[in-house]
Structure 1
Amino acid sequence: MNSNANTAGERTSFLPSADAMARRRRRRYLADGAARWMVRAGGGGVVVALALIFVYLFSEVFPLLKGASVDTQASYVAEGSRSAEPAYLALERYGEIGMRYSRDGELVYFHLGDGEVIRRVDLAVPEGIEVTSVGNGEPRARLVTFGLSDGTAIIVRHGFELQFPEAGVRRVVPAPEFPVGADPVLVDDNGAALDTIAVQHSRDDIGVAARTADGRMMFVRFRVSTGSLTGEREVRRQAYELPDAPEPVTHLQLSANLWNLIGADTDGHLVYWDIAKPGQAVVRDRRRVADGDESITALQYLNGTFSIVAGTSTGQLSQWFLVRDETEDAGDNIFFLARARDFEQHPGAITDIQAEYARKGFVVVDDSGHLGVHYGTSARTLLLKKVSDRPLVHVGVSPVNNRIIFEDDAGQLTELDLWNEHPEASLKALWGKVWYEGRSDPEYVWQASSGSDSFEPKYSMVPLTVGTLKAAFFAMLFAMPLAIAGAVYTAYFMSPKLRGMVKPTIEVMEALPTVILGFLAGLWLAPFLENHIPVVFTVLVGLPLAFLLFAWAWAQLPRSVRNRIPGGWEAVILMPIICLLVWGLVELSPIIEIWFFDGSMRQWFTDMGITYDQRNALVVGIAMGFAVIPTIFSIAEDAVFTVPKHLTQGSLALGATPWQTVTRVILLTASPGIFSAVMIGFGRAVGETMIVLMATGNSPVVNFNIFEGMRTLSANIAVELPETAVNSTHFRILFMAGLVLFAMTFIVNTIAEIVRQRLRARYSNL
């Protein structure tokens, strides 16, 4: 007995002692606590990372929302002018020299900051002749013309030169030019005074338009050529008399191509002359700008001379440009004036408008001492500020848009530092329809760059957002039925051995680089579908019919034959049938086109008004669908496979068929997981880059035509971000595209999680 007791005692000694059990519990509690805090830290880290991504993107986008601002730098009395009345102000790009024209025919170069005169240029106004009008070209041309009382004009360009007297030292030196000679040139053969005048430079020609004191309209072209041997300059003159305006004209502006002349008359109308053929010039249109006692007090072309801004005596500002007349009896190249947009009203009468050198913006001053900074495309009034207690008469803006100078009626010049980096962007310009120059109606357009200096950037986000949703929609339309149906069949009907081969194979598809799919889609699939368009429709109809026919034929076979195929392997028999059917439909495609579509289904689409692009949403849907299918399939298959067996077995035991069990038990129970799979797949489709980059044609169009391409947010970022200037408006708008993409996926994922939780709560009691 004692030996047995000792033996039992020795055996019980192998059990952990109470102290050891306590130590194990403490270690387990510590491990559980550490794991709990690690999970919390990981989740919190994800939230912090997402917040930081949002903050960074928003920090890059925020400057787009800011308006303009100015700071006063210097103020001094204009010197060196025999006349207190200025005619034109200008600045050079380096911020060292200002140019001031006066109405008595003098050009003064002066230092910015103190107004010290550098050089005076007295124009060759003949004795006894007076200056009767002053006109200017677009700022880039730097041309000013003085109309004289004897029907002649003096044209001057306020040029400058750069000198480098020593290493690292730059000096800006005045260099005025007289492109047609320093002496006055003849405008009116009759010698009448030029009451209103305009000048513009076009390649080798300089155009001058004027209204004479006796009411005639004149247009003169001066062609300047230099002899290759003698080096002498020759000026050839061509003069034309234009049709008179119904009312006297007070302002004139010429387009840069010398095809269009726009004037403002005393009755508050804009008048448009078509002078593309000066000998056959006609007044094409006349539109009212001012009403009642209101009059047009300033008129100025914007950069590129496609659109013009008119200011009135009540402070109204409106932008106008020429729009093609599309009526049947209008003929070709017939244009009319269209009022594109209005800007915030100034408190006083507009006295001067100065256009920016390289953008569609302009600066305005009025007789109440207010300065306004406006932008055409975005219809923004970026700044409207009272900067003087006296009426302002003229304003100039730097070619690099960082400085403004204005003069009041007492000859006081004031310099302002200007911050106006991103006037092109506004909520309306980014998300609304915008009426762009040269187009007949407001549109959604993305066109960020061009080879023209006068290009108007078009930054509508709508085509990119619609393109992103369009690509994701067609990809999900292709991927969802295949992935979900395949997941249900694989998890519930397929044999375990076959499932063990199929599921890993499909999941391996997810590792296939999307650039390979994009390459195949762009170089093989797109041309194949273009040459076999009927296959798209015949396969959609033929495959389901073939499945039904095969199922009916299979059911007619003797049971002994059907039993030779193990349960869950029936899908293998369908593979050769699918391959043969698709091959047969491809071979029939040319015959179908000949029978039903006169040999070309693509041409038939064109005749029906349906555009067909080789790289289109259909190609993207198929290619991106293959990229999304593994994601949806894997998650949905796991959700279906993990449905508790007692639910399916109970359903079958109560007499339900396998199909009834799938539709009424399995799908409901697995619906949270299936929904998550779909949303994750959608997020993958929204963010896909390489496939849409290579297979869409990257056309930023706004439609859901399956046979046309698109441009997505992600592809646009990939294409344009490497080539845009850092911190430019284009650069920041691309970051806004990234922010929109981030917000879209965040919202979709949030909604998906909310719906998934509700589905789980609803069906958790099954």
Structure 2
Amino acid sequence: MAEINSNNQASSMGLAGNSVYQKWRLLKDRMVGYGVVAGGLGVIVAIVLIFFYLLYVVFPLFVGAEAKAITEYQVPDRSVGKTLFLAMEEHNEIAVRFTDSGTAVFFRVKSGEIISTQRLPIPEQSAITSFAHGSYDKGVVAYGLSDGRVVVAKQQYKISFPDDKRVITPALEYPLGAAPIVMAENGSAIDLLAIRTGEDESTLVVKTAEGRVLLSHFSREESLFGDEVALERSDSELNIKTEQTDYLLLDKEQRNLYLASRSGYVTSIDVSNKNKPRIENKLDVLESGKEITSLTFLNGEISLLIGDSSGILAQWSMVRDQQNRYSLRKLRAFKVSEQPIVTISPEQRRKGMLVTDREGLVGIYHSTAERELIRERIGQTKPLAVALSPRANAFLMQTADNKIHYWQVKNEHPEVSWASIWQKVWYESYPEPAYIWQSSSASNDFEPKMSLTPLVFGTLKAAFYAMLIAIPLSLMGAVYTAYFMAPRMRQLVKPSIEIMEALPTVILGFLAGLWLAPFVEEHLVGIFALLMVIPLGVMTFAYLWQFAPKSLRHKVPEGWDAALLIPVIVFSAWLAFFISPAIEALCFNGDMRVWMKNEFGIGYDQRNSLVVGLAMGFAVIPTIFSIAEDAIFSVPGHLTNGSLALGATPWQTMTKVVLLTASPGIFSGVMIGLGRAVGETMIVLMATGNTPVMDLSVFQGMRTLSANIAVEMPESAVNSTHYRVLFLAALVLFMFTFVVNTLAEIIRQNLRRKYSSL
């Protein structure tokens, strides 16, 4: 009886122990399940947050510009004459108007309060007959007088900080001296003039009432034994007819002079040699019945902005043709309104401009992006003068009713548009529209070229050549390793290939750039000979192997056949490089690269797509091989045994049963490899010329989205247009990967459903 009780007690204790174990196991299963769910949700949340952060940074690129009226007031000190020119300083605090009496009136931008009035040293007996301003960023103006003389002045703003408060003091300076400059010795009146000043040289061009075009060049000469600076002057006269000249423009490089008439004729003159000016070309830039109503330079002064009587603003630029000659070409045009264009004010740091028509319509445009950014009507009368601030964030406009209107502008990223990012753009100095990425320069005159098309092209090109090498090698290797290779040999081969994936890509890129690229250049014929000699050597060995004695063939265990091919492949590779010099001398005149250039015009860059394909293909092979090999090896044995039992050969079983069953896994491996190739950075950064060119040639380089981000992100200013466009490139790469992976998963699921019944 006691024994029965002890057994019952032990049984109950065992049941209790099992119950505790079951509860603990269920708790662990539940905790692991929650952990897996939390991890999966965390990955999804992280991806969504990355997407929205990229979108958050990129979104301001596509926000429209805004203009807001701040105030208006009467023209300051109207008693000193009519306004010929308006200008503002950089901080939008002080403005100046130059009048037809030779007076500069400095006043507060926000209130119109007069700060000072300064009269230029114009002789009392002389009358003002013409006016011109130099580069907007220099602040230089010039008055032409009735006695053939010219007065040149420069607005200057001195900044001080008394009591830690910024104080701006305006003043006038005279870069060529306070005394009037004699241009026409006979005292003929100055009808038109153009002025450009620099640190070391200045040029003044005038058209007199007699129709003569006179040019004076001033160069600074510093004394070797003191601080004295002298101006050395040289004069010349242009032999050109000027009866219909109404506009005179000289670029800031002081090389190109433009004469234009209201009827639309523009003559460009090369004045780089000041003593021997040379007429470049003459061109009619308008249709019959139209007139030029406004003419100025775009920022950089490579292009002319021409406004006509029909309300069209056109950009004309000097373009080099196939004969290496320059001529004026029309790059683009904007339809501003139906009224004549009155004023054109270019931005000083970007390729934008503010345009007004006769009825007070104001439009802000950007040339490269070909965008109309702002369109507002100001006042009810004709604009007389417009001043756009150096930062292009405000402007003043004086209208015919003697009022000055002050507006603020919010226009952060005008350079970006759908056309500038994805379509061909005709950039200044380019012979035709093109896809160009060239995002920055040391000069404010630079025209940003932010086309993502060559970067996307380079990304796809690099991935294509990498996959072209990686897919055949990795898939064929996976098929043989998983299906035909002996188990012991597979235990050696599979880990050896998979460990290749642990190699840092920076090391692969380093080797590709410093060793592989020069090696491929030196043995280019040998590289291509490998593609013929190795397959031919393997097939020849296989053919001869069947004639070998059975005793020798039977000594090789089943599944170890691949070991026999190792010396064959090594010998074939050596043979390919050994015979390549003879092939190159016989077929390519001793140098394949020169032969390709001469015969087909195909250039060769040392760091090119072939090098990238070899290096990045080597990096992608382990990924595709491992996943595909696991998928093939995991095909149930009863499927292969059943196929063989029904009379199918091993090859038929592999192609008709094994590959179809494993196709979802094989496809996943290929797509993951493609994602690796698309997102690769260091190899393409170090193994290519990193030039954003669109060329399908395997002998040319490229720049990918990821490499471009890695190179330029550290140098970009935070929240600048360049910075946000780089984030846009990252967003494009993110979306491309997401879409491709989504489509790949859909295809994989369809393959799984289709072949799951095998």
How far apart in 2 are the matches of 1:11 and 1:357? 95
Identical counterparts, % of pairs: 46
The equivalent position to 1:717 in structure 2, one of 685, 709, 712, is 709
Which letter maps to 2:627? I
What is the match of residue 251 of structure 2?
255
The equivalent position to 2:368 in structure 1, one of 369, 377, 385, is 377
1:527 aligned to 2:524? no
What is the match of residue 339 of structure 2?
348
How far apart in 2 are the matches of 1:543 and 1:116? 87
How far apart in 1 are the matches of 2:531 and 2:579? 15
**Matches for 1:55-94 after TM superposition, within 5 Å:** 55-94=52-91
1:654 aligned to 2:646? yes
What is the match of residue 368 of structure 1?
359
When structure 1 is superposed on structure 2, of 82-91 and 663-672 the one drifting more is 82-91
The answer to whether the Cα contact below 8 Å between 1:251 and 1:265 also exists between their aligned partners in 2 is: yes
The answer to whether the Cα contact below 8 Å between 1:367 and 1:393 also exists between their aligned partners in 2 is: no
1:32 deviation in Å? 6.0
How far apart in 1 are the matches of 2:752 and 2:646? 24
Unpaired segments ≥5 residues, structure 1: none
Q: Deviations over 1:228-258 (max 9, x none)?
A: 5565553343333324357612222111122
1:668 aligned to 2:665? no
1:97 aligned to 2:94? yes
The equivalent position to 2:437 in structure 1, one of 435, 438, 446, is 446
- Say if 1:243 and 1:757 are closer, same or farther in 2 by CA, change over 3 A: farther
Normalising by structure 2, report the TM-score.
0.95
1:28 deviation in Å? 7.0
Which letter maps to 2:271? I
How far apart in 1 are the matches of 2:241 and 2:447? 31
The equivalent position to 2:487 in structure 1, one of 488, 491, 496, is 496
Which letter maps to 1:142? G
Which letter maps to 2:244? P
When structure 1 is superposed on structure 2, of 575-584 and 522-531 the one drifting more is 575-584
1:205 aligned to 2:201? yes
How far apart in 2 are the matches of 1:561 and 1:4? 73
1:142 deviation in Å? 1.5
1:475 deviation in Å? 0.5
The answer to whether the Cα contact below 8 Å between 1:138 and 1:302 also exists between their aligned partners in 2 is: no
How large is the RMSD of aligned CA atoms in angstroms?
2.5
SS of equivalent to 2:424: coil
Which letter maps to 1:539? L
1:313 aligned to 2:309? yes
When structure 1 is superposed on structure 2, of 42-51 and 527-536 the one drifting more is 42-51
1:588 aligned to 2:579? yes
Q: Deviations over 1:377-397 (max 9, x none)?
A: 212221111132332221112
How far apart in 1 are the matches of 2:481 and 2:716? 48
Q: How many residues align?
A: 757
What is the match of residue 134 of structure 1?
131
Q: Deviations over 1:298-345 (max 9, x none)?
A: 111122211111112232111111011323xxxx5x311100111241
What is the match of residue 628 of structure 1?
620
The answer to whether the Cα contact below 8 Å between 2:152 and 2:174 also exists between their aligned partners in 1 is: yes
The answer to whether the Cα contact below 8 Å between 2:94 and 2:108 also exists between their aligned partners in 1 is: yes
How far apart in 1 are the matches of 2:147 and 2:228? 27
Which letter maps to 2:507? I
Which letter maps to 2:151? I
When structure 1 is superposed on structure 2, of 582-591 and 367-376 the one drifting more is 582-591
1:152 aligned to 2:149? yes
What is the match of residue 170 of structure 1?
166
Q: Deviations over 1:407-461 (max 9, x none)?
A: 1123322222222221111111111111111111111111122333422221111
The equivalent position to 1:386 in structure 2, one of 377, 387, 397, is 377
SS of equivalent to 2:563: helix
1:591 deviation in Å? 3.0
1:619 aligned to 2:611? yes
How far apart in 2 are the matches of 1:307 and 1:469? 35
When structure 1 is superposed on structure 2, of 515-524 and 554-563 the one drifting more is 554-563
How far apart in 2 are the matches of 1:610 and 1:136? 50
How far apart in 2 are the matches of 1:90 and 1:615? 51
The equivalent position to 2:390 in structure 1, one of 368, 376, 399, is 399
What is the match of residue 143 of structure 1?
140
Q: Deviations over 1:350-394 (max 9, x none)?
A: 222122222222222222222222222212221111132332221
1:546 aligned to 2:527? no
What is the match of residue 213 of structure 2?
217
The equivalent position to 1:295 in structure 2, one of 291, 298, 305, is 291
Q: Deviations over 1:169-220 (max 9, x none)?
A: 3322223111112222122334322222221124422222233223333333
How far apart in 2 are the matches of 1:507 and 1:344? 62
How far apart in 2 are the matches of 1:389 and 1:713? 50
When structure 1 is superposed on structure 2, of 460-469 and 353-362 the one drifting more is 353-362
1:47 aligned to 2:39? no
How far apart in 2 are the matches of 1:437 and 1:633? 49
The answer to whether the Cα contact below 8 Å between 1:289 and 1:296 also exists between their aligned partners in 2 is: no
Q: Deviations over 1:463-485 (max 9, x none)?
A: 11111111111000010000000
SS of equivalent to 2:502: coil
- Say if 1:338 and 1:233 are closer, same or farther in 2 by CA, change over 3 A: same
How far apart in 2 are the matches of 1:480 and 1:585? 23
1:109 aligned to 2:100? no
Q: Deviations over 1:694-724 (max 9, x none)?
A: 1012111101111111111111111111111
The answer to whether the Cα contact below 8 Å between 1:247 and 1:267 also exists between their aligned partners in 2 is: no
The answer to whether the Cα contact below 8 Å between 1:648 and 1:661 also exists between their aligned partners in 2 is: yes
The equivalent position to 1:286 in structure 2, one of 282, 301, 305, is 282
SS of equivalent to 2:125: coil
Which letter maps to 1:183? A
What is the match of residue 261 of structure 2?
265
How far apart in 2 are the matches of 1:390 and 1:543? 83
What is the match of residue 410 of structure 1?
401
1:129 deviation in Å? 2.3
The answer to whether the Cα contact below 8 Å between 1:297 and 1:351 also exists between their aligned partners in 2 is: yes
- Say if 1:222 and 1:8 are closer, same or farther in 2 by CA, change over 3 A: closer
The equivalent position to 1:487 in structure 2, one of 473, 478, 481, is 478
When structure 1 is superposed on structure 2, of 446-455 and 688-697 the one drifting more is 446-455
How far apart in 2 are the matches of 1:247 and 1:662? 89
What is the match of residue 471 of structure 1?
462
Which letter maps to 1:746? F
Which letter maps to 1:465? V
Which letter maps to 1:645? G
How far apart in 1 are the matches of 2:135 and 2:617? 53
How far apart in 1 are the matches of 2:78 and 2:225? 41
How far apart in 1 are the matches of 2:7 and 2:92? 103
The equivalent position to 1:706 in structure 2, one of 695, 698, 705, is 698
SS of equivalent to 1:436: coil
- Say if 1:460 and 1:624 are closer, same or farther in 2 by CA, change over 3 A: same
Which letter maps to 1:732? R
Which letter maps to 2:141? V
- Say if 1:729 and 1:594 are closer, same or farther in 2 by CA, change over 3 A: same
When structure 1 is superposed on structure 2, of 234-243 and 503-512 the one drifting more is 234-243
SS of equivalent to 1:134: strand
How far apart in 1 are the matches of 2:368 and 2:216? 32
How far apart in 2 are the matches of 1:569 and 1:351? 87
1:686 deviation in Å? 0.5
Which letter maps to 1:630? P
